[in-house]
Structure formats: C-alpha cells, structure tokens
Amino acid sequence: MVANGAIVPAGSGGAVSVYVTNPTDVVLDISGYFDTSSGPTSYAFYPATPCRVADTRGATGEFGGPSMYAGEIRDFPIASGGCGLPATARGYSLNVTVVPEGYLGYLTIWPTGQPQPFVSTLNSWTGKVVANAALVPAGTNESISVYAPNPTNVILDGNGYFAAPGSAGALRFYAVAPCRVADTRAADGVFGGPEMAGSTIRSFPIPASGCSIPGAAAAYSLNVTVVPDGPLSYLTLWPTGSAKPLVSTLNSFDGSVVANAAIVPAGADGAISVYVTNQTQVILDIDGYFAP
C-alpha cells in the first residue's frame, strides 16, 4: 500500500479522473480545496523556507522525543516551533516522514480539538521509512494531532502556511494541466539528463520549462519521483539561492521508485534546487503554482 499527496485541478462537473496500469483498489481522502472566493474563511498561501518542525528521534521535548508508542495521539503546536510559522496560520503545508519500528498500518494527522478522522496520511506495512506531503488545518493552540497505531518515529517538515489574505507575500493558487517539467532519464539538457550523482545539487528554472509557468510564480505544486540506482538516503527540494535546509522530501532506503508531492518556494530566476545523497534519476511534474 502506497499513499501520495496530490493537488488536482477540478475537471468537468468538479470531477477528477484516475487511471491505473494494473488492477488495484484506490482510496481518495480530501483535506481542502482551492477556489476564487474571498470570504472570511478564504485564506492565502504564504511560502516558507523548508524547515524541520519536529523530530521524535531527537532529545525529549515538545518537538522531539520520545518516539510515539502504539495507539498514541500526540499534539504538536506548530506555531511554537522554531520555524517562524505564525500564530495567525490557519493551516500548514507539511512533509511528514515516519521511521517505524516495524509494521505501521497507517498514520493520521488532523487539527487538534476536532474528532480523529477516518483517513490516513501515509502507510508503511513493510516498516520502511516513508514520507508524504500533507495540508493540515490548524487546530486548538495552532496545533495538529498525530495518531500512530504502531510504534514509530515521526518527522514534520514545514514549507508554508495558509492565513488571512492581505499581508506581504500572500499568494493564490493557479491550477495547470499536469505537466512534466524535468526528467533526468531524457537526453542531456537543462530539464533532462544526466542522472544525478550522489551528494550533488542541481537547479531547475521552472518558468523556462515547457510547462508555461509564469515568471511571477512564487511557489510550485510538484510531484517528485526518484528512480535510484540503489539505496537513496534522501532527496531535498528548496528555493535556489537559499541555503540547503535540514529537511527531506522523500527517501528510498531500499532503492525502489518513490514519488511524493511537494510545495516548493521559487528561488533565484524562479528555480528550485534538488539535492540527492545517492545516485538517482529525478522526475519533476507540476500541477499548479502560487502567485500574487
């Protein structure tokens, strides 16, 4: 079982289409939507430099250890963390990673103070390290709640938040038809090969791609896929021109093909930077962008 976050443009009748190459059951969980309204419950997106909010592998504390025990619910008051996400935030853009002790049926995240929903954020039935993107509303005390039915460590990385419009840096979402920005398996070029070597950084100026993304875009909604040559400790995405952050976007310790959604702020010349710990092919697909 594999889960992946996705921001999907609404089609005819507000529907989305799903295609699979082989027989499978499909589960769709929703955490929000984007529209053109401007009412009191409409929020703008504010991108933030990717930052590690919590890591239960660290020293014991509000945003550190201990690891989560089976059946535990734990609250994380995100605005009180060290990532500069404000108390005015009404929702968070996060990347969630689990490092389970073994089988992990699922992990669920929701706004603190509300009933636990019947949804899953990610799964790790084989006990491997798994990451998934999540948009989570802020709950009581600007907190989110995490439930794990089996023992696991949990890592939360933040890359932006939703809050009332009108402040500096406020952005709206613009959907585009899903489009392949880059694929290092293709012929050598700015958005093609060669394959990324271990411990290397490569930048992709997304507005210069063939996906018709404007230069005014200040953040991107992407799906990132890796096709590693072997174990890949992690891949990180961040705005070009900023320092490489201490976060991960995805992991593939067993060398399997892995995909994950990511909202990434635009950097110098609209580019994003990619770092990989080990040799791998990298594929970037885009489904929308955030702009004024």
CA-wise closest residue to 138 among 83, 74, 93, 73: 93
Q: Return the H-helix or E-strand segment holding 91.
A: strand 91-100
- Please tell me the distance from the alpha carbon of residue 92 to that of residue 21, in angstroms, as a whole number: 33
The pLDDT value recorded for residue 61 is 97
Judge contact between 237 and 249, C-beta under 8 A: yes
State how far the alpha carbon of 189 is from the alpha carbons of 204, 209, 210, in Å: 11, 11, 13
Paired tokens of 286: 């885009």
The pLDDT value recorded for residue 101 is 96
Judge contact between 238 and 246, C-beta under 8 A: no
The pLDDT value recorded for residue 283 is 98
| DSSP characters over 41-88 | T--EEEEEEEEEEEETTSSBSTTSBSPBPTTEEEEEEGGGSTT---TT
The pLDDT value recorded for residue 41 is 76
| DSSP characters over 13-53 | GG------SS-------------S--STT--EEEEEEEEEE
| Residue 58 CA to its chain's centroid (Å) | 21
Supply the pTM of this predicted model.
0.93
Q: For every one of its 292 residues, what pLDDT tens digit does the chain have, with 9 covering 90 and above?
A: 888 888 888 889 989 999 999 999 999 999 888 887 777 778 999 999 899 999 999 999 999 999 999 999 999 999 999 999 999 999 999 999 999 999 999 999 999 999 999 999 999 999 999 999 999 999 999 999 999 999 999 999 999 999 999 899 999 999 999 999 999 999 999 999 999 999 999 999 999 999 999 999 999 999 999 999 999 999 999 999 999 999 999 999 999 999 999 999 999 999 999 999 999 999 999 999 999 9
- Please tell me the distance from the alpha carbon of residue 14 to that of residue 175, in angstroms, as a whole number: 13
- Please tell me the distance from the alpha carbon of residue 285 to that of residue 118, in angstroms, as a whole number: 29
The pLDDT value recorded for residue 179 is 97
Sign of the Cα torsion 220, 32, 20, 278 reads positive
Paired tokens of 119: 């949804």
CA-wise closest residue to 280 among 217, 234, 222, 215: 234
- Name residue, tokens 């499978």: 24
